[in-house]
């Protein structure tokens, strides 16, 4: 039986750990050739290859426009096309109330979480327009529609990702490019590594389902949005949050 992404090329930023790594594994398991992008080398490619998949690493700092452009150029040089892009790279950044947040701290989280999505989309869309098709999935957040104390930079960036996604979908859906964003709740990834067990338990209780999410659960939604099964889905904001936004 033909696998979901047989003969397709999928690019994943922030693929070194967490949601990005889980998505990269899933793309590969479903037959895609995977471009693994992150700010430092990691074991994602080796694990994919060990399972019989195909992957290629491109070191990228998405906060730098030229590096995002080079990422797309390397993808095209390696595989000749880019069918799917999952723009997932992000940081938590400085946590502080707005008046106490440093200018540099705010600018850093915006540069990675918002500017990075813009830069990647800019060059991905240009390539996909030449092909006449493509799928983009961006990682937003539940904090793309609500606030959270001491997360001003992160909240602002994720609100921006939602807006970019919706506007780009409006502009390019008629040209064969579908663009959506996923909105995870609090997921058990390295972003939460600084939290102690008690804090994680308290955070878990904010989700009606009673626990934090796992990267593979978010990856499953990303895979669906990337597939032809989601052919009528574009411009959407898809929470996967254990009911957080209902509480």
Residues with a catalytic annotation lie at: 154
Question: Other C-beta atoms within 10 Å of 205: how many?
Answer: 11
Cβ atoms of 36 and 57 closer than 8 Å:
yes
- CA nearest to 4, candidates 166, 135, 168: 135
**Residues 6 or more apart from 118 whose CB is under 8 A from it?**
164
Cβ atoms of 172 and 179 closer than 8 Å:
yes
Rounded to whole angstroms, how far apart are CA atoms 225 and 137? 7
- CA nearest to 169, candidates 144, 142, 135, 196: 135
Q: Classify residue 152 by burial, with Cβ atoms within 10 Å: 0-12, 13-18, 19+.
A: buried
């Amino acid at each position: 039986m033909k696998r979901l992404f047989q003969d397709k090329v999928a690019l994943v930023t922030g693929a070194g750990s967490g949601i990005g790594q889980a998505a990269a594994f899933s793309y590969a398991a479903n037959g895609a050739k995977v471009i693994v992008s992150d700010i430092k080398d990691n074991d994602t490619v080796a694990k994919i290859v060990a399972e019989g998949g195909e992957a290629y690493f491109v070191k990228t700092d998405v906060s730098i426009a030229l590096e995002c452009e080079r990422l797309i150029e390397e993808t095209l040089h390696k595989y000749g096309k880019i069918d799917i892009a999952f723009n997932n790279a992000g940081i938590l950044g400085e946590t502080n109330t707005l008046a106490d947040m440093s200018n540099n701290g705010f600018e850093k989280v915006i540069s990675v979480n918002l500017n990075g999505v813009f830069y990647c989309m800019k060059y991905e869309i240009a390539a996909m327009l030449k092909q006449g098709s493509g799928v983009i999935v961006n990682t937003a957040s539940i904090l793309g529609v609500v606030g959270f104390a001491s997360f001003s930079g992160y909240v602002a960036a994720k609100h921006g990702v939602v807006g970019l996604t919706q506007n780009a979908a409006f502009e390019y859906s008629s040209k064969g490019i579908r663009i959506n964003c996923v909105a995870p709740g609090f997921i058990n990834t390295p972003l939460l590594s600084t939290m102690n067990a008690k804090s994680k338990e308290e955070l878990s209780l904010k989700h009606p389902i009673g626990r934090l999410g796992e990267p593979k659960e978010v990856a499953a939604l990303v895979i669906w949005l990337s597939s032809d099964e989601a052919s009528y889905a574009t411009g959407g904001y898809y929470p996967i949050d254990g009911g957080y936004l209902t509480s």
